[in-house]
């Protein structure tokens, strides 16, 4: 891999990494689609500035951990295609980080959206 010599090359490589993850990883597509839905709900439910910041930080954490997981899995696969217990540990720990961030997102979503959704449902009766 070439080293980036300019800021624009650095951005190009970073965007290439994002696009690679999006093209090759089913889970990041799921996280991204969910993020778009949550952003739409945030707008429609008129969240406060602090709530919007919390939602965006949570989305960012999930997407970043998914991309780090992809990077770790790719490097491990580059090193060996055969089963190795340490390779399995590296992949499992990275997947665990994604799981923790996804659970955190569910908790944040519950705290931010639950009462508003209940109010909307009670108004529709």
Q: Binding site for a divalent metal cation, residues?
A: 73
Q: Which residue ranges are tagged as binding site for substrate? A: 66
Q: Which residue ranges are tagged as binding site for ATP? A: 13, 73, 82-84
Closest C-alpha to 46, from 122, 121, 125, 120:
120
Q: Please give the Cα distance from 97 to 104 (Å, whole number).
A: 11
Token couple for 33: 């689609």
Closest C-alpha to 66, from 40, 34, 96:
96
Out of 62, 66, 87, 98, the active site residue is 66
**Annotated catalytic residue 66:** yes
Residue 6 region by backbone torsions, left for phi larger than 0, else alpha for psi between -120 and 50, else beta: beta
Q: Which residue ranges are tagged as binding site? A: 13, 66, 73, 82-84
> Residues with catalytic annotation?
66
């Amino acid at each position: 891999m070439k080293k980036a010599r300019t800021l624009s090359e650095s951005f190009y490589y970073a965007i290439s990494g994002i696009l690679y993850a999006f093209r090759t990883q089913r889970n990041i597509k799921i996280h991204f689609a969910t993020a778009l839905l949550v952003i739409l709900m945030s707008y429609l439910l008129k969240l406060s500035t602090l709530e919007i910041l919390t939602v965006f930080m949570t989305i960012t954490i999930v997407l970043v951990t998914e991309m780090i997981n992809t990077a770790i899995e790719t490097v491990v696969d580059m090193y060996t295609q055969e089963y190795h217990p340490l390779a399995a540990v590296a992949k499992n720990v990275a997947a665990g980080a994604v799981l923790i961030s996804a659970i955190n997102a569910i908790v944040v979503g519950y705290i931010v959206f639950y009462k508003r959704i209940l109010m909307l449902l009670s108004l529709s009766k």
